[in-house]
Amino acid sequence: MLFDIVLPSVISVVTIAIVWLYAKFETKIKSLFEEEKEFHIRDAVFLVITMGVMVTVIALIPQQAIMVLFLAAYSFILFLFTYIAVERWYFAVLPPIIFVALYIFSWSIILLNIFALLFVVFVSVYLGGFFSWKTVLVFAALITVMDVIQVFGTGFMVDAANKFIDLKLPVLIIGDTFPRQGKFVLGLGDIFLTGLLAVQATEKYNRKAGAISAVSVGLAFFLFEIIAFHYEEFARVFPATLVVVGGWLLGLGVYRIIKQKIAS
């Protein structure tokens, strides 16, 4: 049987890290705002629409413009999260400078993956507290629909991904599968969604629920890749949000079964 353990492991480990870091920095992040801020359903809808528009724009605009916009956005987020952690602006400016210098002068697939994972962890931890159980469900449903439309309908998601790959921007992870020989490419939006869902499972239940959902999404990708290795044409450009949501629901089901057995 053909299978891969690398991508499922990366997804599960990174998601568990997001849950742990969110618990560690939640209070500090929320203290940055004078009043408690939480996304409403309209905010979730607006965020999905914005992401859909960005995918379309990225698919249509020149590559150089994409590079400039992304480097600026990534540098700001890197500065922001570093400042939250160390609370010293003169230390916080160093990571963005290092990132831009490495991208221009000494970039590689390894650095791409490292900065991509740092980026998705930072954004997931920072935004995790703005969602509620209701809004994250709406967001997950809408972003899945958007993903399906942009992959199978317009094809813009595929065009945008190809541009990111050409520019080697850290908005996706690229790696070798093992033990099956091959490569995988996964957009950070799918890991971001996994992190948000795991954080909300932790908020609603506990950290065990968040960890179980992280592992179950990894398991969902493990099973999906088995199918993909046998039907490559079908799975080459597949909306991964469907796998994420399916794996998360599976994890919640497993957690509730375990909880019921313990209670009885």
Span 75-104, mean pLDDT? 89
pLDDT digits (tens, 9 = 90+) for 150-177: 999 999 998 999 999 999 999 999 999 9
Query: What average pLDDT does range 130-144 have in this prediction?
Result: 93
Q: State residue 117's pLDDT score.
A: 93
Give me the helices (H) in 129-187, please: 133-148, 156-167
For residue 106, how many other CB atoms are within 10 A of its CB? 8
SS3 70: helix
Confidence of residue 235 (pLDDT cuts 50, 70, 90): low
Q: What is the pLDDT of residue 234?
A: 66
Are the C-beta atoms of 178 and 6 separated by less than 8 Å?
A: yes
pLDDT at 36: 60
Whole-number percent of the chain with pLDDT over 70:
96
**pLDDT for 26:** 80
Distance CA 231, CA 256 (A): 33
Q: Which tops the pLDDT comparison, 129 or 149?
A: 149
Indicate whether this model's pTM tops 0.85: yes
Q: For the residues 120-148, what does the mean pLDDT come to?
A: 91
How many CA atoms does the CB half-sphere of 160 hold within 13 Å?
25
Is pLDDT of 33 > 70?
Answer: no
Q: For the segment 192-221, what is each residue's pLDDT rounded down to a tens digit? A: 999 999 999 999 999 899 999 999 999 999
Res 140 pLDDT > 60: yes
Average pLDDT, the chain: 90
- pLDDT at residue 264 greater than cutoff 90: no
Confidence of residue 182 (pLDDT cuts 50, 70, 90): confident
| 32 pLDDT higher than 70 | no
What is the pLDDT confidence band of residue 84, given thresholds at 50, 70 and 90?
Answer: confident
Mean pLDDT for 98-108 is 94
